[in-house]
Structure 1
Amino acid sequence: MSLMACASSPKGRDGVDVHRPVVADEARYNKGNLKPYTVRGRTYQPVIPKVGHEETGTASWYGHESPNRHTADGEVFVADGISAAHKTFPLPSIAEVTNLDNGKTIRVRVNDRGPFSNGRIIDLSRGAAKALGVYTTGTAKVRVKFLGPAEPLTASLVHAVPSDDRQSYIVQLGAFSQRDNAERVRDKIDDAHVDRRGDIYIVYIGPYMGAASAEKHRQKAIDAGFTGAILKRAD
């Protein structure tokens, strides 16, 4: 039975069905997240597939990140929200995911990168995994259909950062085991710093007050070629 057709599908605070996130009329993809990026020595090239493009493979789920951890496109990750990570879909976008083991179907907001395990094609948030029946099994065989760009962020889909956020954030540009490598990266961007944390050297810019302000600087860093730039709370 499809969850999308179920009359009891849960609603967000503004009444939107969280299993049916809206596809936008116009593409508003994060351009920085359409650039190639490298993870564990493998380079991935994001693409904008045709609407209706389908992939079949294994889905997994993730939900153990620290509070207010940000997704690849700068949104706040909420483990119990309805979202997902994909290696190459444009961000943010909407995908339809069908659990081929039980027939359940939901729509998810794709706003993060992953999974980077062989044979897995999509990583579901914990909330999406529960809705799709993947939470208890850990993985499931799924069909993923690309539907198009996502509407701008709303509280019912993924929680936004409060406008009165007083937390301080940095934009992490990279992490290195050798100080020389970290310093070479630092010298490529104005006002960057190197901070040693244990055996790792962190290259960052900031801090900035509030995630919204920090995100603007993250986008500038991405445009400058730092496609792996992420937001982190300042210590």
Structure 2
Amino acid sequence: MKQDAGPRESMSVDHIPDAVPREEPRTIAGNKNPYTVRGKTYTLLPSPEGYKSQGIASWYGRKFHGHTTSNGEIYNMYGMTAAHKTLPIPSYVRVTHRENGRSVIVRVNDRGPFHDGRIIDLSYTAAKKLGFVDSGTAPVEVEYIDPRQYRGAPSSLPVPPAPPSVLTASLGTSRSSGSPQMPAAPSPAYSGGYEIPDNTYLQVGAFSSREVAERLLVRLQVVTSYPVRIYTSKESAFFRVRIGPLKDSYDLLMLRETLAQHNVPQAHIVYQ
């Protein structure tokens, strides 16, 4: 991709919790010191404790999604992570949008941004939660969190509403994509994924014709290793095509992205 971008379709990220600071070993991976990028040499902070700085934050998304970060982990634009030029990897920081007061906690596992005036590069999700995805950059304050002294708790997760009894979709409906396919990435440590109810499915369509539902089922079986089935009930004449049950929130998001790549209609979460 020449130009970075977020997911092909805007989505809510309110259900994705902040990173939870915890003590982790710092290895050589990602912590080369000093290091040089584009002719400029950077030296890591000898001690991150007490670090607090203000500047401009940016974000990075689909262009780097599925690629390795500076410490060898897989970048996940749906996780709560960030890139910083001089903080040790991994580090945890609180990032506060100075104009709207929103705040998130992210885990630094990458290097950058290598642009003058920018102090941190956030994942798509972190930027979305701070409210500056559309503008691209925002004035922020970045403060280091010492895991040994952290007493916070993970963000509470909202209970999803019950879905309608029938969710209809047209097999002819599709979304075109001019972007190249990106690799599906395995879930890295602390990616931001969390457990979801074990009766969570993605419903891709509901049709009055079983033949149409079966054609869609065949298409879906090629693009996912999750079970794909057709469900019916005495109360309704519709044939519902569902994928699942799903394992966790990360798999759910990645499956939606995969479906979008294959021009499959927008899927809805259902519970059965």
Which interval holds the TM-score relative to the shorter structure? 0.5 to 0.7
Establish whether residue 78 from structure 1 lines up as the match of residue 76 from structure 2.
yes
The RMSD of aligned alpha carbons is 2.5
Whole-angstrom distance in 1 between the partners of 2:193 and 2:47: 23
1:39-64 deviation line (CA, Å, top 9, x unaligned): 00001112243433200000011113
- Of 13, 26, 29 in structure 2, the residue corresponding to residue 29 of structure 1 is 26
Q: Summarize the alignment of residues 105-120 of structure 1 with structure 2, pairs less than 5 Å apart.
A: 105-120=103-118
Whole-angstrom distance in 2 between the partners of 1:50 and 1:30: 15
SS of the residue aligned with 2:77? Answer: coil
The answer for unaligned runs of 5 or more in structure 1 is 1-7, 12-17, 159-235
Whole-angstrom distance in 1 between the partners of 2:193 and 2:44: 23
Whole-angstrom distance in 2 between the partners of 1:104 and 1:149: 21
Q: Cα–Cα, structure 1 residues 134 and 40, in superposed 2: closer, same or farther, change >3 Å?
A: same
Q: Summarize the alignment of residues 55-74 of structure 1 with structure 2, pairs less than 5 Å apart.
A: 55-74=53-72
Whole-angstrom distance in 1 between the partners of 2:64 and 2:144: 29
Residue in structure 2 matched with residue 51 of structure 1 by the alignment: 49
Whole-angstrom distance in 2 between the partners of 1:119 and 1:126: 20
Letter paired with 2:25: R
Q: Percent identity?
A: 42
Establish whether residue 156 from structure 1 lines up as the match of residue 153 from structure 2.
no
Whole-angstrom distance in 2 between the partners of 1:102 and 1:135: 14
Letter paired with 1:111: N
1:60-96 deviation line (CA, Å, top 9, x unaligned): 1111325420111111101122111000111111100
Residue in structure 1 matched with residue 220 of structure 2 by the alignment: none
Q: Cα–Cα, structure 1 residues 94 and 106, in superposed 2: closer, same or farther, change >3 Å?
A: same
SS of the residue aligned with 2:146? Answer: strand
Letter paired with 2:189: L
Of 79-88 and 32-41, deviating more is 32-41
Question: TM-score normalised to the size of structure 2?
Answer: 0.48
SS of the residue aligned with 1:135? Answer: coil
Q: Which runs of 4+ in 1 moved over 3 A?
A: none
Contact 2:95–2:106 under 8 Å retained in 1? yes
Quote the offset at 1:9 in angstroms: 5.3
Q: Cα–Cα, structure 1 residues 58 and 128, in superposed 2: closer, same or farther, change >3 Å?
A: same
Letter paired with 2:190: T
Residue in structure 1 matched with residue 99 of structure 2 by the alignment: 101
Quote the offset at 1:36 in angstroms: 1.4
SS of the residue aligned with 1:76? Answer: coil
1:178-232 deviation line (CA, Å, top 9, x unaligned): xxxxxxxxxxxxxxxxxxxxxxxxxxxxxxxxxxxxxxxxxxxxxxxxxxxxxxx
Whole-angstrom distance in 2 between the partners of 1:157 and 1:96: 19
1:82-141 deviation line (CA, Å, top 9, x unaligned): 111000111111100000011000000111000000000000111110011111111110
Contact 1:28–1:149 under 8 Å retained in 2? no
Quote the offset at 1:149 in angstroms: 5.7
Whole-angstrom distance in 2 between the partners of 1:135 and 1:97: 15
Residue in structure 1 matched with residue 15 of structure 2 by the alignment: 10
Question: TM-score normalised to the size of structure 1?
Answer: 0.55
More strand by share: 1
Whole-angstrom distance in 1 between the partners of 2:191 and 2:113: 25
Letter paired with 1:33: G
Establish whether residue 129 from structure 1 lines up as the match of residue 134 from structure 2.
no
Residue in structure 2 matched with residue 40 of structure 1 by the alignment: 38
Residue in structure 2 matched with residue 174 of structure 1 by the alignment: none
Letter paired with 1:61: W
* Structure label with greater radius of gyration: 2
Contact 1:96–1:105 under 8 Å retained in 2? yes
